Amino acid sequence: MQNLIVIGSGVAGMAAACRLRAKGFTVTVLEANAYPGGKLTHFRNNGFRFDAGPSLFTMPQLLDDVFIQAGKNPRHYYTFQPLNTTGHYFYEDGTRITAYAEPDQLAKELHEKLAVAPDVIQHYLAQAKQTYEMAAHIFLENSLHKRKTWLKKEVIRALSSIPKLGIFETMHQRNTRLLHEPRLIQLFDRYATYNGSNPYRAPGILTSIPHLEFNLGTYFPDGGMHSITEALYKLATDLGVTFQFNTRVDEIEVERGITKGVRAGHQFIPATAVVSNMDVHPTYQKLLPTQPTPKKILAQERSSSALIFYWGINRPFPELDLHNIFFSENYEQEFHCLFNKSTLYSDPTIYINITSKYCPTDAPPGCENWFVMINAPANKGQPWETMISQARTNIIKKLNRLLATNLENHIVAEDLLDPVLIEQKTSSYQGSLYGTSSNSKMAAFLRHPNFSGSIKNLYFCGGSVHPGGGIPLCLQSARITSALMVEHFARQSV
């Protein structure tokens, strides 16, 4: 029986471990922290519960598939509910938009609030669906680095449609061409942040992302996002996956170009193959110090990071829902600051996630748990203490203005996560949330593959490798990686 090691217990690491264990492999997950989940964890503070990381749940079928492939009923491990709205949007001119999940209802709302003809949004979402379905065959469902992928009939058909995918124009240019109304363009430009990119530079193919929310739906996992971590961890342990927490891997042992296992502390743990769910950059720099590195891949621009304030609020805000966005008045300048100046903009776009709207036990009675996030640049040694202090002031000032409140009087609990802490807690290089950015038309092709081309039996999964970051893509990454490994060892046994 093959003995496999997975480094890191993020979503992709646990999903890969479950898939491989279901195929009969012996799997051990080594985790530096005392808990599973990577970025998808939670904590409590003064009676408030906060999901610490990802806050959006789409495409539950990808998560369900992990359980189904293991012969388990996913509803025995976690449940969720569909959302009627994908977000509430607030603009400096006083405009407020409820983004209904149902496309016709959304079109009606945008017609009433922005005087946009219903057929504009209906056509846009139809284009998003078409773009996603064509792109998925090429970029999301298979390894881009295997010859057989390019010989599949569905991929060949999709390749003939590449000019329609928006690769040769930016996301902002495509949105401007299709939508025209500035506030609506800003709303849909925002989806570039779902993989830590700049809509003024990222390719138009990213206009496919809204398809996931408006055509396929958004959901709330009962118990919050951390219930996804709990479900995967329980599935893994039920299947017989072994977890070793507080175990930081120091080196992946390679002998004559073949992976032999890992060293953790003073212990050598042998393995037939190793899967790194750790960010690919520190995997090479720290765990493979004597091996050649893919310099061009590691030198790519990093995605954005985040600055998050976790605030316990002592009163309800009925005008807010689960997902709330307060837009910057100058969106282009905000992204210029993030990616060109590596700093925080003075008027940031603010995202507030409030799980107590759907899970009342996440906050004391009459209170709300606010996850308040702004996009931040990757950590390059900036004066974060000063920047964070100023950002907190700017955020509160903006929210006071747009919500007609005095927020300082209502914050009764507070915690913080910044790019430096993200890097320390999750080994995400420079604190970037999605590995590399997608700020070039070739970005999808430049991500690290799910396997090593020079070291036999070394594989990769997670947000820093193909196909990208975010829960759906991390689950796809785990599926691709585990399939490659199963195929590889099946060939060896013949």
Residue type (1 letter), 307 = L
**Where is the domain boundary, 181, 210, 239?**
210
Mean pLDDT value of segment 458-487? 95
Same domain for 192 and 118: yes
The domain boundary residue, chosen from 160, 178, 210: 210
The predicted pLDDT at position 494 comes to 52
Residues 205 and 229 in one domain: no
Average pLDDT over residues 34-46: 97
* Residue 155's pLDDT band (cuts 50, 70, 90): low
- Residues 203 and 235 placed together within one structural domain of the fold: no
Contact call for residues 337 and 391 (beta carbons, < 8 A): no
pLDDT, averaged across the chain: 93
Same domain, 136 and 205: yes
Would 143 be classed as within a structural domain?
A: yes
Per-residue pLDDT tens over the stretch 184-209: 999 999 999 999 999 999 999 899 99
The Cα–Cα gap between 127 and 289 comes to: 46
Which domain CATH number covers 293? Answer: 3.50.50.60
Are 241 and 190 in the same domain? no
Closest to 14 measured CA to CA, from 373, 425, 479, 465: 479
User: Which of 135-149, 254-268, 294-308, 337-351 is the least confident region?
Assistant: 135-149
| Residue matched to tokens 């509160």 | 396
Look at 167 and 240; give whichever has higher pLDDT. 240
Q: Are residues 114 and 206 in the same domain?
A: yes
- Mark whether 121 and 186 lie in a shared domain: yes
Strands, sheet with 458-460, edge to edge from the N-terminal-most edge strand: 242-244, 26-30, 3-7, 273-276, 458-460
- Tell me the mean pLDDT in the region 461-467: 94
What pLDDT is stored for residue 491 in this prediction?
Answer: 81
265 is a domain residue:
yes
DSSP letters spanning 51-85: E-S---EE-HHHHHHHHHHTT--GGGT--EEE-SE
On whether both 247 and 189 belong to a single domain, the answer is: no
pLDDT range class, residue 490, cuts 50, 70, 90:
confident
DSSP reduced 3-state for 134: helix
In this prediction, residue 218 carries a pLDDT of 96
Rounded mean pLDDT, 91-110: 96
**Final residue before a domain boundary, out of 183, 210, 237:** 210
Are 202 and 178 found together in one domain?
yes
State the pLDDT at residue 1. Answer: 61
Average pLDDT over residues 52-64: 96
Residue 476 has pLDDT above 90, yes or no: yes
> Is a pLDDT exceeding 60 seen at residue 361?
yes
What does the CA dihedral 153, 19, 478, 256 come to, rounded to 10 degrees? Answer: -100
Separation between Cα atoms, residue 481 and residue 7, nearest integer Å: 14
Residue 270 belongs to a domain? yes
> Within this chain, do residues 120 and 204 fall inside the same structural domain, yes or no?
yes
Asked, for residue 136, whether it belongs to a domain, the answer is yes
The pLDDT assigned to 146 comes to 64
**Is 478 within the bounds of a domain?**
yes
In a domain, 126, yes or no: yes
pLDDT given at position 180 = 96
Burial 339-362 (b: 16+ CB within 10 A, else e): beebebbbbbbbbbbbbbbbbeeb
Please report whether residue 266 resides in a domain. Answer: yes
| 183 and 276 fall within a common domain | no
- Residue 161 contacts by C-beta under 8 Å, 6 or more apart in sequence? 134
Say how many domains are in the chain. 2
For residues 346 and 393, what is the distance between their CA atoms, to the nearest angstrom? Answer: 10
Q: List, in sequence order, every residue forming a beta bridge with 219; answer none if it has no partner.
A: 57, 82
Band of residue 168 on the pLDDT scale cut at 50, 70, 90 = confident
pLDDT number for residue 440? 83
Q: Which residue range is the domain that position 278 belongs to?
A: 3-38+59-72+225-300+439-493
**Residue 469 tokens, joined:** 């970051």
The pTM score is 0.95
- Same-domain status, 182 and 133: yes
Lowest-confidence region among 51-60, 76-85, 141-150, 182-191: 141-150
Question: Does residue 396 form part of some domain?
Answer: no
User: In the structure, what pLDDT confidence band is assigned to residue 492 with cuts at 50, 70 and 90?
Assistant: confident
Whole-angstrom Cα distance, residue 362 to residue 55? 14
